[in-house]
Chains A and B, each alone.
Chain A
Amino acid sequence: MRGGTFVKLGAIGAVLVGAAALFGLTAGWFSPGRMTQSRMVADFRDASGSQPGFRLNHAKGVCFTGTFQSNGQAVPLSKAAVFEVGSVPVIGRISLAGGMPFQADKPATVRSMALRLMPMDGQEWRTANVNLPVFVVNSARGFYDFTRATAPDPATGKPYPTQMSAFLAAHPETVKAMALIKLAPTSSGFADATYAGLDAFRFVNAAGESVPVRWSLVPLQPVVAESATQSASADKNYLFDALIAEARQHLLQWRLLVAVGEPGDPTNDATLPWPGDRRQVDAGTLTVDHLSSEATGRCADVNYDPMVLPSGIEASDDPLLSARSSVYARSFTLRAEDRMAKTPSAITPRDVQGGDSR
């Protein structure tokens, strides 16, 4: 072979190596500092340990089925079929924040309610909401660092104090958010908690008009303040057991209130509240009519991805939405892979007593 051929072979090799390198660069193989799905997952696992088959976060929970009865009042705001007058089936999940599926119930642990609303037209709406007035961080990086800062020291079981103070010094938005969270009263249980979406979204109506919104699920059950005797209970599932007992006595209901934002209201920062006087539209009522364990319930195989939105509801510029969607997808895949081995449920069918709450 002539020398020129070697040069050409070298050139071909360089093109191929270049293409492969570009691919690796896109995949993040050469940027260890980049926030990726894998790194967010590793962060959770560092904080909670690996819990095969469970959700990375909100691992302890129960499934429910129910309905959302829309009153039509949100139709002028959104063209989504779920808001037309009528009833839509719901597969939901009530849970505690944290990656530890067997943690003891505590009043300060964040409670959450996730919904999968399934109107006839197939345009699903999934939403996951928590009992906080604002969120503690406003970015994926913030969440990553917050999880690391609050991870317990294996020796003491408590967070390292220096880590948290360093985190707070770097995140003034979290300091402000935590002050607001501290002011908000804690209710006695899951049934009388208000669950808020926190992230802003946009509602788009039939005329194409778009408004920023934030929604919350406000209980119709009377709200009772959390008391020390409750949390002193020896029952480590005391919150779930109270929910199960209450659901057996009567239907549990929440109103879906949609706050309509005005120009200047922050849509890209879930740590900032909106002024309290924003117009609230009562869109309808959620009724929980059947609780069941995750072992038998239909929520276990659902990824409550906040970006599963019907036509008429759109994402805002809140960066947490993309981050949640991306990490939830990875968590769902890992859970599915683990689930090949076992079906996990911290609240067992026996706890829910055969799953019949009526």
Chain B
Amino acid sequence: MSASQARFSGVSRLLHWVMAVAILAMLFIGIGMVASVSERYEVLVAVHRPLGIAILILVVIRLANRLLNPAPALPATMPSVMRLAATASHILLYALMFVLPLVGWGMLSAARYPIVLAGGLQLPPILPHDIALYAWLRPLHTDLAYLLFATFLAHLGAALFHGLIRHDGVLGSMASWHRTIAPSVRDGKP
């Protein structure tokens, strides 16, 4: 198959894996905190806000990096339906990574909660104090988070499908830390 399947740049891989951990943590923290009334709630909220802003900053860096270091081409052997699915799901992932923190920041602004990152460090509101706006943004934040988790599952499933079944080097292009891609991947043999 794709003997020449190129890898993502080192910076791209670093950003991907740092953000993968951050976003997964964020999804579990988010869904866990709204289901908690124990002391855990405060701890999780205190992590959720700054981590969300960190993800927002990282996704901006990542978009810039994507323009500087374009993703390697998908293997020529990939059917066009799979290519379309790959492109669409990546656009969706990027959009959600960017929009979810902004909706979070916006909904806290509309509710006039102070947006405390740590200690005395606060972010300014980005929307007016408007409870109707909050009523719209708050459920949107949860719905988009569910969508992001579902997209993550599809992404994980596709990555494993490439790695375990198609052996086309797509998984290795992001998941391999070796200096060169393993021969089995390169040769497309199981």
Question: Residues of A with Cβ closer than 8 Å to B?
Answer: 4-5, 8-9, 11-12, 15-16, 19-20, 22-23, 26-28, 34-38, 40, 122-124, 140, 300-303, 305, 307-308, 310-311, 315, 317, 319, 321-323, 325-327, 330, 332-333, 335-337, 339-340
Contact = CB atoms under 8 A, between A and B. Distances in A.
Contacts of B79: none
A317 B109 CA distance: 28
Given A12-B160, A27-B35, A326 B41 contact: yes
Interface of B: 27-28, 31-42, 45, 111-114, 119-120, 122, 129, 131-132, 134-135, 138-139, 149, 153, 156-157, 160-161, 164-165, 190
A61 to B, nearest CB: 16
Contacts of A34: 35
Nearest to B32: A26
A336 B153 contact: no
A301 B112 contact: yes
B135 A337 contact: yes
Contacts of B34: 36-37, 326, 330
A35 B37 CA distance: 6
A302 B112 contact: yes
Nearest to B43: A322
A305 B113 contact: yes
Identify whether the interface residues of B are mostly helix, strand, loop, or mixed. Answer: helix
Contacts of B39: 317, 319, 322
13 contacts: A4-B190, A37-B35, A37-B36, A37-B37, A123-B120, A301-B112, A302-B112, A317-B39, A322-B42, A335-B131, A339-B132, A339-B135, A340-B135
A176 B10 CA distance: 64
Nearest to B129: A301
A327 B36 CA distance: 9
Contact of A23 (B27, B40, B161): B27
Contacts of A308: 113-114
Given A122-B114, A326-B37, A12 B132 contact: no
List the 4 closest pairs (A to B, CB-CB), nearest first.
Answer: A336-B135, A28-B35, A311-B120, A326-B41
Given A5-B165, A140-B38, A122 B157 contact: no
Given A15-B156, A26-B28, A322-B39, A301 B131 contact: yes
